[in-house]
Structure formats: C-alpha cells, structure tokens
Amino acid sequence: MRRYVAVVHRKQGGYRVSFPDLPGCASSGTTVDEAMRAARKALDLHLAGRRKAGEAVPVPRDFAAVVVSTDSKGALAFIMI
C-alpha cells in the first residue's frame, strides 16, 4: 500500500490538508480530526480518478524528501496517509 505525506495547515475556521506529491488533492475541516477524515477520502477519490482516467499514479516520495522540499511555513504537521 502506498502512503503519501499530508501537510496540515491551520486556516481561518479550521484546518487544511494537502498532499505535495498530488497537486490538486486537498481537504479541509473545522477540526484536525475532521480534516484528516476528509483527507483520507480526498486521497482515495483522487487516486481512483487518476486510475479511471488512465493516468499514472505518482510514486510517493519518502517522508524526509517531502518535508525538506515542501515550504513548511505555517505547517502544523506532516502525516503519512
């Protein structure tokens, strides 16, 4: 099973989760838990959509590579999903 790094940011009214290895794949929620549940769904839908469209599913980079290359300004956490 592939695991992607999710980046959690605080935003007005809640939290935003994005996946640096999957541009356009993101979610949000009013609590961290809600945002993380939405992130798991967003990840599943994003990957399923790519497969259905015949697009390649990107191989996730390892945790350290993502953290080093991502602008972490304001990031609350980096989490593997």
Q: Closest Cα partner for 36 from 4, 12, 68?
A: 4
Range of the domain at 28: 5-80
Res 69: pLDDT: 85
> Quick one: pLDDT at residue 74?
79
pLDDT at 70: 78
- Could you tell me if 48 and 39 are in contact, meaning their C-beta atoms sit under 8 angstroms apart? no
Domains contained in the chain, number: 1
Sorted by sequence, the CB contacts under 8 Å of residue 35 that are 6+ apart come out as 8, 14, 15, 16, 17, 27, 28, 29
Q: Tell me: the pLDDT tens digits for 19-61?
A: 999 999 999 999 999 999 999 999 999 999 999 999 999 999 9
Supply the CATH number for residue 20's domain.
3.30.160.250
Contact 35, 25 (CB under 8 A): no
